[in-house]
Structure 1
Amino acid sequence: MEKLLQDLNNYFALINVKAFCEKYDLAYETVRRVLKGDKIITEKFSAKILLAIHNFEKDQRDLKQEFHQNYFTE
């Protein structure tokens, strides 16, 4: 779990955590505390946050594809 915590901190260094939590229905305060190391990372939490990351990345791919189709085609 220590590796996952390190990877999550690296991942969220690039993303607005509060907006991410709001969009993917995560408790911001819980995520913040886990990332800071104030709260232990559990199996339930890791499953929920990894699913949210998966959904976020899918949304990003879809948005990128839509932008390319609408604005970058010749």
Structure 2
Amino acid sequence: MKLWMSGEVDADVGDGEHVARNLIEPIVNNILGQLSTPDKIDEWSFISIILSEKFMSGFPEIAKKSKNKKIRI
């Protein structure tokens, strides 16, 4: 299994998320590369959406899983 990370980050938030994501992704992939999952997921996609306070009320958290592609979105 492999983790793929990306982000949609409000410019008001700054670069901290990007820096943290670039540090975390290879470490998690190293750990995930040694695991196998019962449902044979090939890829775990994580897309952070980080908005400043002015946008928060209109955007709920969303998690999806594709059974056909065996990818968690």
Q: Higher helix fraction: Structure 1 or Structure 2? A: 1
| TM-score between both structures, scaled by the size of structure 2 | 0.31
Indicate the structure with greater strand content: 2
Q: Which has the higher contact order (CA 8 A, sep 6+)?
A: 2
